[in-house]
Structures are given as structure tokens and as C-alpha cells.
Amino acid sequence: MTKEAKNIRKTKILKGLEKAYEKMLEFKKEKNSEIVIIRENKIVKVKP
């Protein structure tokens, strides 16, 4: 696999991850549920 093909694949993966994150946020807002994140090495629940 060439460097160019790797870069294209990487770009597609990152775009897919961004879309998935946006969909998750929409779903969490719709269901009014919390998002679990790590902040300063502690697990924190945040309302969207």
C-alpha cells in the first residue's frame, strides 16, 4: 500500500469517526442521557 493510499484511507476513517460522534451526540440529546468522558484522569458524566 502506498503512502497516498494510506492517507486516503486515514482521511476516510477520520471522517467516519466524526460522523459517528455527531450521530451519538444527536442521539444523546434526543434521549436526554449523559455522555461519559474522561477529564483529568477521572470519569465524568456530562449532560449534552
Q: What pLDDT was estimated at residue 37?
A: 93
Q: What pLDDT was estimated at residue 26?
A: 94
Question: What does pTM read for this prediction?
Answer: 0.73
Q: What pLDDT was estimated at residue 44?
A: 95
Run means of pLDDT, 10 residues per run, the chain, 48 residues: 95 98 95 94 92
Element (H, E) at 2: none
- Cβ-defined contacts of 2-9 (< 8 Å, 24+): none
Number of domains forming the structure of the chain? 1
